Amino acid sequence: MTKKIIFGIIAFIIGFGIALYSESFFREIIQDVFKWSTSDKIKFVANNMYIFSDKTYYITLGIVPLILTLENLNKKMTTFLKNGIICLLIFGISLVTISVIDANIKIAECTACDDGIRKLHWNGINYGLIIGASAIISIVPSLIRIIKRTKKASVQQRV
């Protein structure tokens, strides 16, 4: 039990650290997806300045490695790596998908755009929500496996 707690705390800290250092990277990716998915119909205006994202971003990126670690703690390293790669792929796919949907909604709701180009402030995108939702979606397979394992263990204890 202490092994789970120690590894869980370490995994959360690592995820939180990744969140701190990767924020500008994810912001740029999301901005690029916004431009690409709308055929450059979004133009960013004003200064690209930010201090920190909302707390949701940091907490979800801390929780993902925590759940992934706890789910794979007693499994082989190859299984852990496989589940980690699946988690990263789902994260990337959902990040792009959510960004594409959000960008196209912003274009569709623009009724007074010049030549169909939407001017959007750099902070007009909710980066924390996009990244947080992608992180939560990416950890769903691990959560399902944890729930199944917990239910199976409780059924075996009753018998």
Domain ranges of the chain: 1-157
Q: Give pLDDT, residue 118.
A: 86
Which tens digit of pLDDT belongs to each residue from 102-144? 999 988 887 777 777 888 888 888 888 899 999 999 999 999 9
Range 41-54 average pLDDT: 76
Checking if the pLDDT of 157 tops 80, the result is no
Checking if the pLDDT of 49 tops 80, the result is no
Checking if the pLDDT of 72 tops 80, the result is yes
Which tens digit of pLDDT belongs to each residue from 91-104? 999 999 999 999 99
Q: What is the pTM of this model?
A: 0.87
CA of 105: how far to CAs of 24, 45, 117, in Å?
A: 23, 18, 13
Q: What is the spatial distance between Cα 61 and Cα 135, in angstroms, rounded to a whole number?
A: 6
Q: Give pLDDT, residue 9.
A: 93
User: 152 with 76: CB under 8 angstroms?
Assistant: no
